[in-house]
Chain A
Amino acid sequence: MSRDPIIQVDRLVARYGDDTILEDVSFTVDRGEVFVVIGASGCGKSTLMRHMLGLDRPFSGQVKINGIDIHRCSDEQFRRTLRSIGVLFQNSALFGSMTLAENVALPILEYTRLPPGSIDQLIRMKLCMVELSGFEGHLPSEISGGMKKRAGLARAMALNPEILFLDEPTSGLDPVISAEIDQLIRHINQSLGATMVIVTHDLGSIMNIADRAVMLDKEHKGIIAEGDPRTLRDSADNPDVRRFFRREAKNESLAR
């Protein structure tokens, strides 16, 4: 398969105050792939994602989406780039005062010209894609955690962006619902052709959905492994990587 990079992260250094979280991180994400960022808690996964989205400014280095350096381009270019991005935030970030339908409709109303009747129907299709038909009129506070994730996903996909960023799409969900969300992510990736960047530490979902993964490490402040997660699990040289994939404790004395 020929490589067609859609996101390029080049020598990214991320700092909060004096704390360096990421040091010299470089990788690329190819068009149409499911790319997973993994790593132990606190290793900078969410920091990396915030920098890739332009929410935080890097100390040095650059992030290019579709060839545009999102931290140094004009506001106009940045806004246009944002339209090709959809994000599912870790706790869904649904607007609490709006129903699910209104949440999903918000970007559609802003960026397309469709009559209200068509938008209604489109939203029912979107919610149906994420198995939430019948919940159009519910408020986010009235539905469960798994449903919120799915509604957040529907809102992220409202304009069918080229790239979907998903921050821990399965955290805090039961295995069955997690598997359903994995399946949904796969479906959406295959049928809509969206590139997926997923931050997670859910082993099951990594194995189920990832085409390629990078693993971040707190001590190295950067990438310690990159490749197909199945290969990493079976033949990684780094003991930290093996431990992560085999779900082993670091401290042997605690293991028994």
Chain B
Amino acid sequence: MTSPGDAANGPADRDSSRRASYEFHPSESGDLRIELAGKIDVSTAPALRTEIQNAVGSNTGGAVVIDLGRVSHLDDFGALLISELRQQAEADGRGFSLIQVPENVERILALVHFDDESVCRPLPKKERPNIVVRLGRATIGQTFDTQYTISFLGSAVLALLTVLVRPRSLRWGETLTQMEKTGVDALPIVGLISFLLGLVMAFTSALQLEQFGANIYVASLVALAMVSELGPIMTAIIVAGRSGSAFAAELGSMRISEEIDALFIMGFRPTLFLAAPRIVAAMIVVPLLTLFSDLFAIAGGLMVGVTMLDLTPHSYISQTMKTLTLFEVMWGLMKSMVFAAVVSWVGCLRGFQTRGGAAGVGNAATSAVVSAIFLIILFDSVFAVIRSYW
């Protein structure tokens, strides 16, 4: 910060006689009179503060008397300087007083409640609550969270049932928009990632299968792995990253700007109004995306098969058709529909749970993606178990 002599670009350098200065006047009685003069403000006080405090610290004796008679201007940074001198004096058991306080300085001191014990004295440090209290609070918070999650699950299921019974209760325009955002707009990235995935899978498996002369089974491997496992999972993860987070962020912003409360007051059911179109849209488009994902991956495998493994496109495709059964394809699509429901549901849940401000919205989006990916994997394991006992 600037020293008193070169107060930068404030009004001070237009009028040099108003620069801040101080003088010490020790008296015979042992009291120390400090005379402040000029502008004691944001540009000068921080530098003055250290100098004066050091000087007062090295002087021992009677009371500290601050003479403000020649102060032309003082702001709260100046008030801080005086208040800290008072603390220093009190800590050393010395008296403290202000003399010749001009009217404008008095106004400032009143404005900052200079004589109020709770303001201008250091606060005692707040104690952190002990571990039992914190554990208790965390448990209570977690309980309420779980309770909300369950009730939101219930209201989402109810909303979907309502849609089934009375399809007109769903906002179809909004649902179409969401289908476009979740499905159509995601197609390029889903296609590209799946194509590359098919390419990589075919390439890696070819290295092994070639040793047995089993090149043709590359087609079976890519098709089966993609249709029953990777297609649904990859698509769901991409949708979680693109749309689950978007749902959470959008609904979260609506929550903190009270738009959801406004809907509720107008007699709408927020879950039916906001969550249902998103969940329904996702459940319709994600299986379609998965189908595209399967096709692109097979195309990727085909490319490796034809260019590197000396297979003809015809033999690759017929091997693929031979491997896949309708049941396998439908099983994959059914899984992806469940994943879609889970991803969009948890996105909406995090949106509705948002509290606080901008940071809350960010947390909601993060948490939506993390929970969605976890739930996708969890449900996939459940499906695997079901499949093994079929």
Contact residues of A with B, CB < 8 Å?
80, 83-84, 95-97, 112-114, 117-118, 120-122, 124-126, 128-129, 133-134, 139-141, 159-160, 162, 187-188, 190-193
Q: Are A140 and B357 in contact (CB under 8 A)?
A: yes
Q: Are B111 and A139 in contact (CB under 8 A)?
A: no
**Chain B residues positioned under 8 Å from A112 (CB to CB):** 1, 42, 46, 77
Q: Are B120 and A159 in contact (CB under 8 A)?
A: no
B9 at the interface (CB under 8 A from A): yes
Contact of B76 among A95, A125, A162 (CB under 8 A): A125
Task: Return the CB mask of B18-47 against A: 1 if under 8 Å, else 0.
Answer: 000000000000000000000001100010
Q: Which of B78-86, B136-144, B214-222, B268-276 lies at the binding interface?
A: B78-86
Task: Return the CB mask of B322-359 against A: 1 if under 8 Å, else 0.
Answer: 00000000000000000000000000000000011111
Q: Are B112 and A125 in contact (CB under 8 A)?
A: yes
Q: Are B356 and A97 in contact (CB under 8 A)?
A: yes
B119 at the interface (CB under 8 A from A): yes
Chain B interface residue count: which class? 35 or more
Contact of A192 among B46, B108, B123 (CB under 8 A): B108
Beyond known contacts A126-B112, A159-B42: 6 more, CB 8 A cutoff: A114-B80, A128-B112, A128-B116, A133-B119, A139-B356, A191-B108
For the complex of A and B, list the 9 residue pairs with the smallest distance between their C-beta atoms, beginning with the closest: A96-B357, A97-B359, A125-B112, A191-B107, A128-B119, A160-B75, A160-B42, A113-B1, A141-B356
Distance (whole angstroms) from the CB of B155 to the closest CB of chain A = 25
Contact of B80 among A83, A118, A159, A191 (CB under 8 A): A118
- 29 A-B residue contacts at CB 8 Å? A83-B9, A95-B358, A96-B357, A96-B358, A96-B360, A97-B357, A97-B358, A112-B46, A113-B1, A114-B49, A114-B80, A118-B49, A120-B123, A121-B122, A122-B76, A124-B120, A124-B123, A125-B76, A125-B113, A125-B120, A126-B76, A128-B112, A128-B119, A133-B119, A139-B356, A160-B41, A187-B107, A191-B104, A191-B107
**Chain A residues positioned under 8 Å from B107 (CB to CB):** 187, 190-191
Most A CB within 10 A of own CB, among B41, B76, B83: B76
**Chain B residues positioned under 8 Å from A122 (CB to CB):** 76-77, 80
Q: Are A125 and B80 in contact (CB under 8 A)?
A: yes
**Chain A residues positioned under 8 Å from B111 (CB to CB):** 129, 187-188, 191
Contact of B119 among A124, A141, A187 (CB under 8 A): A124
Residues facing A in B110-134 (CB within 8 A) are 111-113, 116, 118-120, 122-123
B11 at the interface (CB under 8 A from A): yes
Residue of B nearest to A84 (CB): B9
B73 at the interface (CB under 8 A from A): yes
Distance (whole angstroms) from the CB of B321 to the closest CB of chain A = 56
**Chain A residues positioned under 8 Å from B104 (CB to CB):** 191
CA A95 to CA B356, docked complex, whole Å: 11
Distance (whole angstroms) from the CB of B363 to the closest CB of chain A = 10
**Chain B residues positioned under 8 Å from A80 (CB to CB):** 9
Distance (whole angstroms) from the CB of B91 to the closest CB of chain A = 13
**Chain B residues positioned under 8 Å from A114 (CB to CB):** 46, 49, 80
CA A191 to CA B106, docked complex, whole Å: 9
Residue of A nearest to B106 (CB): A191
CA A112 to CA B111, docked complex, whole Å: 22
Q: Are A121 and B80 in contact (CB under 8 A)?
A: yes
**Chain B residues positioned under 8 Å from A191 (CB to CB):** 104, 107-108, 111
CA A162 to CA B41, docked complex, whole Å: 12
Distance (whole angstroms) from the CB of A93 to the closest CB of chain B = 11
Given A113-B1, A125-B112, A192-B108, A160 and B359 contact (CB-CB distance below 8 Å):
no
Q: Are A192 and B1 in contact (CB under 8 A)?
A: no
Q: Are B76 and A129 in contact (CB under 8 A)?
A: yes
**Chain A residues positioned under 8 Å from B360 (CB to CB):** 96, 141
Distance (whole angstroms) from the CB of A158 to the closest CB of chain B = 9
Q: Are A192 and B75 in contact (CB under 8 A)?
A: yes
Residue of B nearest to A131 (CB): B113
Distance (whole angstroms) from the CB of A65 to the closest CB of chain B = 12
**Chain B residues positioned under 8 Å from A190 (CB to CB):** 107
**Chain A residues positioned under 8 Å from B11 (CB to CB):** 162
Residues facing A in B354-375 (CB within 8 A) are 355-360
Residue of B nearest to A140 (CB): B357
Q: Are A96 and B356 in contact (CB under 8 A)?
A: yes
**Chain A residues positioned under 8 Å from B118 (CB to CB):** 133-134
CA A191 to CA B119, docked complex, whole Å: 19
**Chain B residues positioned under 8 Å from A139 (CB to CB):** 356-357
CA A185 to CA B76, docked complex, whole Å: 15
**Chain A residues positioned under 8 Å from B256 (CB to CB):** 141
Given A191-B111, A192-B108, A193-B73, A121 and B359 contact (CB-CB distance below 8 Å):
no
CA A134 to CA B358, docked complex, whole Å: 24
CA A139 to CA B119, docked complex, whole Å: 20
Residue of A nearest to B118 (CB): A133
**Chain B residues positioned under 8 Å from A126 (CB to CB):** 76, 112
Q: Are A129 and B355 in contact (CB under 8 A)?
A: no
Q: Are B120 and A121 in contact (CB under 8 A)?
A: yes
Distance (whole angstroms) from the CB of B386 to the closest CB of chain A = 43
Q: Are B42 and A121 in contact (CB under 8 A)?
A: no
Distance (whole angstroms) from the CB of A68 to the closest CB of chain B = 10
Distance (whole angstroms) from the CB of B51 to the closest CB of chain A = 13
**Chain B residues positioned under 8 Å from A124 (CB to CB):** 119-120, 123
Distance (whole angstroms) from the CB of A126 to the closest CB of chain B = 6
**Chain A residues positioned under 8 Å from B46 (CB to CB):** 112-114
**Chain B residues positioned under 8 Å from A83 (CB to CB):** 9
CA A80 to CA B10, docked complex, whole Å: 10
Distance (whole angstroms) from the CB of B120 to the closest CB of chain A = 7
Q: Are B9 and A128 in contact (CB under 8 A)?
A: no
Distance (whole angstroms) from the CB of B365 to the closest CB of chain A = 15
